[in-house]
Amino acid sequence: MSATPLQDLSARIDARTARVGVIGLGYVGLPLAVELSAAGFEVIGFDIDSEKIRSIEQGISYIGDVSSEALQAVRAGNRFWATGDFDQLHDVQVVNVCVPTPLTKTKDPDVSFMASAVEEIRDRLHPGALIILGSTTYPGTTRELFVPVLEETGLKVGRDFSLAFAPERIDPANLEFKVKDVPKVVGGETPLCTELACKLFDTIFETTVPVSSTQTAEMVKLLENTFRAINIGLANEVALMCERLGLDVWEVIDAAATKPYGFMKFLPGPGLGGHCIPVDPSYLSWRMKSLNFSARFIELATEINGGMPAHVVDRVSDLLNEAELAVNGAKVLVLGVAYKRDVGDMRESPAIDVVTLLARKGAKISYHDPFIAECEIDGTRYKGSELSGELLAESDLVLILTDHSGIDYGRVVAGAVRVFDTRNATRAVEDQAGKIVKL
Which residue numbers are catalytic? 276
> Residue 98 corresponds to which amino acid?
C
Which residues lie closer than 8 Å to 156 by C-beta, 6 or more apart?
A: none
What is the rounded CA–CA span in Å between residue 86 and residue 106? 31
Count of positions (residues) in the chain: 439
CA distance 123 to 111: 18
Q: What whole-number distance in Å separates Cα of residue 318 and Cα of residue 324?
A: 10
CA–CA distance, 3 with 186 (Å, rounded to integer)? 25
- In order, the DSSP letters of 377-409 are ETTEEEE-----HHHHHH-SEEEE-S--TTS-H
Strand, helix or coil at 230? helix
DSSP letters for 29-83: HHHHHHHHHHTT-EEEEE-S-HHHHHHHHTT---STTS-HHHHHHHHHTT-EEEE
Do residues 341 and 424 touch, judged by C-beta distance below 8 A? no
Neighbours of 364 (CB within 10 A): 15
Query: Pairing relation of β-strands 380-383 and 374-377?
Result: antiparallel
Helix, coil or strand: residue 274: coil
